[in-house]
Structure 1
Amino acid sequence: MSWSEAKDKEGRVYYYNAETKETKWEKPEELQSPLEKLLAKTDWKQFSAEGGRTYYYNSKTKESVWEIPKEIQAELEAAKDVEDYQDNAAAININNGTGFQSIIDPSEQYHNTSPLFNSDIKARDVRTANEKFVEMLRENEVDATWSFGKIMTFFIKDPRYWLVEDSLEKKHLFETYLNNRTKEELFKENNSIEKFKEAFLGLLHSTRSIKYYTRWKTARRLIQDEPIYAHSVISEKVKKQTFQDFVDGLRREHEEANKKLRDQALLELNEYFKTMNLNLSSTWESTHNSIKSDTRFKQNKHFEVLNQLDLINIYLENINSLQTNQQERIQNISKENYRHDRKARDEYKALLAELKETGLLRADTKWSDVFSLIKEDDRFIGLLGRMGSNPIELFWDVIDEEELLVRAKKDIVEQLLLHNDFVVKDDVDLAKQKSELIKILQKDEQTKDYDEDTIELIYDRILQQIKEQKEKDKFAYERKIRRLQEDFRSFLRKFDNPKITIETKWEDIKPKIEKEPEYLELPDDRTRLIAFEKFITRLKEKKIELEANKERELKRIIEEASKAREEQKSKKRALSPKPPVEELDY
């Protein structure tokens, strides 16, 4: 290589030929890369943007792209495939001295007598070469689902592929072939939608610029020059739907990948929170401050996909978990306490039952009597401070049960005594009366099994009931007498023949009123005299009250007159003239 790269004083690159002493600004062909050689044959040029990034500009269409143009990329891949194939072929035949030429010469390598490999194939006539190339495409039923890259790789071993030397010409023939297909071929292709979709999806997969968020409008611009899109007879609707299915799949893959990353990050974040030893008093603010200052949290790259809300949610989940655990512990403790409380109540109830069996607990038993018996018993002490009914409440429950039982038995006894015309009295020999009552009860099937304590309690209740009834009757009688006495006093107040005064005597007025109804309604002279004396006392009280009122009124009048005189004197003093002040002449 005689050409080399050099720079002038201003840093500009130029090229120098050591043999011919020639210099020029354009890069010589022998220094050009395969990409640069291909670009030189097209309207595409390579430039560098600010920052050093390479882009490509088409001087004919005025289009600019960041990626290598598709047709140039296809040529590069085809050239690489050929180079790889030549290297492999040379390696395979190195022992017998055969080279790449022997591979593409089927008459020497395979001794094939097919007309495809006769001397006409080796003709260099351009028209014949083009016909053979198209014939190769038609024989293999190439359609719009084939890409030009597939053409190059699929037919690389077919000698007819190499009859056309220029790659751009091959691509032109391929596109012309697609445009000139017969109606039968187009109809067949139109019915092969599944085949089209498979090939179209392959194109979309190979187009790296198409992402899950790419729209059909953008994708169509990217693939508009691809044969499968430009020359396919498949409807635009099918193409668009196939593209949509493809990007939907990309979107699902993207979302699933993000979800996996996010799920993994959330799992790790949850484990991280568990190592923070949070408790129910841990606030979000204090927890967040701890996280921000923790290098272990900052170094975990998986957490970068999470946001503030994720941290709050995991924090709340951990706090809720702590609350749930605490509630479960409280519930377990409550259940355990409930079992102990119930056991203590059952043991205490058994203690009360023992007292009932021994006759120490009856319907009329007082708590003070029972307390002195059980205060040292462990079953009583064990119930103190427990939840639920306390010892006194359970005691009263038993008393209420006994009371109901005694009342029921008492009703039976009273019905039995009524049937036997036996009346209990409180002003007779009580012991003898009780003995007679017991005899009656022992003769009846319902009451013959009553124990002595029950009979005694019922007998006492009946006696108490008689006493209470007498008290009620006495109160009613006294109330009736008071009402009659009030009526009698009202009569005395109105009586005026003569009018009764504080000087009137009972002996004087009695003969004059003894035939009046109010007088006769009272049962005896004692009640009448009491009513009369109370009436006279009330007259005296009224007289004293009246005199007191007169005295108070007189005192008030005197005080008001005295006050008026004082006010009059004050006014006169205010109106009298002041004596003149003499001026002294010194």
Structure 2
Amino acid sequence: MSGFAPPFPQPASAWQEHKTPEGRAYYYNNVTKVTQWTKPEEMMSSAERALQSQPWKEYTAEGGRKYWYNTETQQSSWEMPEAFKKALGSTGGPSNPVPQTPYSQGGGYPATGHDYSRDSRDSRDSRDTREPYPESRQISYGNDSKAQPAFVPATNDPEYSSQEEAEAAFVKLLKRSGVQSDWNWEQTIRVIAKDPQFRAIRDPKERREAFEKYCQDMILQDKERAKERLTKLRADFETMLKRHPEITHYTRWKTARPMIEGETIFRSTDDEDERRQLFEEYIVGLKKAHKEQQASQKKSAMDGLIELLPKLNLEAYTRWADARDIISSTPTLQENEKYQALSQFDILTAFQNHMKGLERAFIENKQEEKSRKFRQERTARDAFKSLLNSLREDGKINAGTKWSQIVPLIENDERYLNMAGQAGSTPQELFWDVVEEEERSLRGPKNDVLDVIEVRLPRKT
């Protein structure tokens, strides 16, 4: 343990530390049932929290020597930075401090002759393993370009022939390390940074983009798996419920649950809300099927009643009070169960529709009969006029002829008999019409003769 850091506090009651067979520590929350590699903040000491909140991170170079890397400025130093010391709670600095030079493109790590004891470094394990300073760069002492490098770390960076292979290897590492879709990038780096496949993708930006794409794919896969699982569970749940005919469209969950809680399919999910949702979906289907069945039965009964009403000899003027007794006493309605689905309102509706049809047919028949009678009367009238005209041509009707003189001539004629009792003009009125025409025809010559006589006779003075 380090002399700088205070001892770790006891873990919170909800979190417990365990180790894998390989000795790697992981943490389990017995309340939320969450398992994770990262040490929970509740179990961290004040020094660990301080280290986590500052940008300097400690790493070990080849040969076991420690160096520090700033994740914000991308500077590195062999000497422990003051911020790191403060986070550890260190008092005093190194005995022979050497000024540190930030890393630049043209140089390397700054040189220092200072080193801390291994006991002091062991407490600062790589809990936060953000990407360290690239190991392919050399570390030299001072600014002397001729100085030999302090060390040239051997690189274990994997080489791949294409970007696709590198991305595939990086994704394989994420899967092997158990990276979840809800992890952030910093949390993921702590888990996979020490693995050589972490640098399968050299560019940090592309590496993070590959991680984000992996998380998106994981989310889609999780959603698809959840959808497939729910689809299968819904089908199994429906099959289970169908085996219980006592569960009907009006059964409630609190009534049905004791009936099915012993079923294996019921225990295949521990989510009570999910069970109830699947049950409610099944009940909705039953209600829909019941409603469709009722509508079908009602339609069949209405069709039967519509076919039955014309056989009851109802008249267009029959009242509902009389028709109701006639319809209710019909043996067909009493013996056939399908008509039990009809209410009095349904029967009244069918009766009214039937009455409308009868009234419409009655009115049409009346109109047709009236038109037919009108045509008959006009035909009879025209025939009688023809009879009178023939008598006129024969000289039997003239301006001075009387009706009594004509009646004996036509009283047995069918054309005269057809006019009897007919609406409109009577036979006698038609006869006088012919006489008037005859008088008008004589009045013209008579007036001409009178005019000539008046002109020729001398006037008296």
Which TM-score tier does this pair reach, normalised by the shorter chain? 0.3 to 0.5
Q: Rg: which structure is higher?
A: 1
TM-score where L is the length of structure 2: 0.41
TM-score where L is the length of structure 1: 0.33
Higher relative contact order (Cα pairs below 8 Å, separated by 6+ residues) = 2
